[in-house]
Structure 1
Amino acid sequence: MSKRKKLNVEALRSEATGYGNVVEKAARTRSRAQKEQITAWVTPGLRKQMKLLAVEQDRSVESLVDEAITDLLDKHGR
């Protein structure tokens, strides 16, 4: 599993001057290449636990969800 990228200070500085949206959008576009969106409703407690685990493991919530779905599919032989 890949770790979440470190904070880009230069991107934050440029955002403060009004150019950050362009940098942020470009980074999002690259990270979402060849991916599909899945939406799920979860309890506030589950969401909080996922966010805390992501911080503790220095990972994104997306990578945790990806791992969980992969484990579920493996469990069911898919």
Structure 2
Amino acid sequence: MKHYDSQSNRIISCHRQLVETVVGHLCHWFDIERILARDLWHLSSRLARKILAHTVLIGLNRAHQRPWLQF
């Protein structure tokens, strides 16, 4: 690669690891792979509730000085 920058590669891999961890949590704990909904409104509201629950758990972990993504 002509424009290889190890610093930007480290930053990108750090963000990628965070995104993969959050997606893994959503799949494992909130069963996001199987959201049964008949229309777009119910699908989006169920998805929003699951993401909100994940965000609340992160906030609770921060409040108790625990690792953010350890549920």
TM-score by length of 1: 0.29
Structure with the larger helix share: 2
TM-score by length of 2: 0.32
Structure having greater relative contact order (Cα 8 Å, sep ≥ 6)? 1
Instruction: Give 1 or 2 for the bigger CA radius of gyration.
Output: 2
